[in-house]
A and B are shown apart, each in its own frame.
Chain A
């Protein structure tokens, strides 16, 4: 069971890296049309005027248009999901061992992580 955790993490990270890499290559090819919001380094400095809107909808729309930025964001989300997966598997571990207290503790941590991942927090 413990080996499953490391395999899953490895797969998750590799998948995330591949998606991000694909998005970066696409970014280079698409140029400014793939970027959408970032025109120059000034957009990264403090006091910048533009605020980037990030939502499930904006990513979904971007993916439909095969936009590089949306693909990169998807890869990053996959990466953000890897620790969450680890906690979920740990929860299964505790349930398998019928350790109720720690299953509860792990479940609470998992809920906090999922709330953050889905943007509810």
Chain B
């Protein structure tokens, strides 16, 4: 395959990934690494570098909506970003020395893990009996948001240290694999800190771009972000996400989710196989 053909095919694939991702609420990033490694045989470090670009592209591209939504808890986001950025930098630095096979296995695991929030609705919509812990009290992390069904919902935040540690891990995973780690972030905020699910999702989306940006510099200056790969991906994912947002109304979310789950599982299996040294 020539480089030119690769660029064109990659661009089209990125559009597809961007569209699919925006339809199900996952960044296109989760598909970029498998497409590049399994589909084109590209070195996983270069694939991860390109994927980081796609995460930032989708995150910043869609950001306009998030800032106005009144659901993102910016204080929680910034506090936890302290953890994710340090985690991301750690992950990115270490990634160069880790056996790629482990990266494949870890990636497969994260893919499977991402399926669960899509199968069952994660967490109660409005957690009950949540009391601020001392961190939430001192930092005034508790807040409120407008909900169509329940009116204005006031919520508290608990177990901040646990959430902080989980966010560090989410950051490491992001830096190691070049993904946004949205699923891990929502998990940390939802189950550890007991934030309402809508707040967790919105805040997670807010944080994803920053986490990716933290590790992106390391990949860029290491030469792991190759222009021939990153350019079509950045443009394709941006185009795809924009198109996907428009198509969102036409497709029934149930069907899209089911397709995506199947795709995720197939890709996860392939990543596992590659991690164990088997090529198909």
Q: Which residues on A are within 8 Å of B, measured CB to CB?
A: 2-3, 5-7, 9-10, 12-13, 16-17, 20-21, 23-24, 27-28, 35, 38-41, 44-48, 51-55, 69, 72-73, 75-77, 79-80, 82-84, 86-87, 90, 93-94, 101-102, 105-106, 108-109, 112-113, 115-119, 121
Q: Are A113 and B3 in contact (CB under 8 A)?
A: no
What is the CB-to-nearest-CB distance from A35 to chain B, in angstroms, rounded to a whole number? 7
Alpha-carbon gap, A70 to B221, bound state (A): 13
* Sampled A-B contacts (14; CB under 8 Å): A3-B67, A7-B64, A17-B235, A27-B227, A38-B226, A40-B2, A41-B40, A54-B220, A76-B234, A82-B56, A109-B82, A113-B85, A113-B210, A118-B217
Question: Which 4 pairs from chain A and chain B are nearest by CB?
Answer: A116-B217, A83-B213, A6-B64, A52-B223
- Chain A residues within 8 Å of B231, by CB: 20, 23-24, 27, 72, 75-76
Tell me whether B74 is interfacial, beta carbon within 8 Å.
Answer: yes
One of B16-24, B41-49, B108-116, B191-199 at the interface = B41-49
A76 is contacted by which of B209, B220, B222 (Cβ under 8 Å)? B220
Q: A44-B40, A86-B60 are in contact. Are A28 and B4 (CB under 8 A)?
A: yes
Considering the complex, give the chain B residue whose CB is closest to the CB of A46: B43
Q: Contact: B210 with A13, CB < 8 Å?
A: no
Q: Which residues of A contact B232 (CB under 8 A)?
A: 24
A55 near B221 (CB under 8 angstroms)?
yes
Q: Which of B42, B82, B221, B228 contacts A108 (CB 8 A)?
A: B82
Residues of the A chain whose Cβ atoms lie less than 8 Å from the Cβ of B217 = 80, 113, 115-119, 121
Q: A17-B235, A35-B3, A83-B213 are in contact. Are A69 and B64 (CB under 8 A)?
A: no
Q: Please measure, in the bound complex, the distance between the C-alpha atom of A72 and the C-alpha atom of B230, giving whole angstroms.
A: 9
Closest residue of A by beta carbon distance from B89: A121
Q: Is B75 engaged at the interface, CB distance under 8 Å to the other chain? A: yes
Report B160 CB to chain A, min CB distance, Å. 13
Complex: A21 Cα to B11 Cα, angstroms: 12
Q: Establish whether residues A46 and B100, one from each chain, have CB atoms under 8 Å apart when the complex forms.
A: yes
Query: B residues within 8 A CB of A93?
Result: 74
The answer to whether residues A6 and B223 also contact, given A48-B43, A83-B213 and a CB cut-off of 8 A, is no
**B102 proximal to A (CB < 8 A):** no
Q: Does B128 contact A (CB under 8 A)?
A: no
Bound complex: CA A86 to CA B234 (Å): 19
Contacts A41-B3, A76-B225, A109-B85; is A82 near B218 (CB within 8 Å)?
Answer: no
User: How far apart sit A72 and B225, CA to CA, in the bound complex (Å)?
Assistant: 11
B63 on interface, CB distance cutoff 8 Å: yes
Given A17-B235, A83-B60, A109-B85, decide whether A44 and B220 contact each other with a Cβ distance below 8 A: no
| Residue pair B213, A46 in contact (C-beta under 8 Å) | no
17 additional contacts, CB 8 Å, given A10-B63, A54-B222?
A: A5-B67, A6-B63, A24-B235, A35-B3, A44-B40, A48-B43, A73-B227, A75-B234, A76-B230, A80-B213, A80-B216, A82-B213, A84-B213, A90-B78, A113-B213, A116-B213, A117-B217
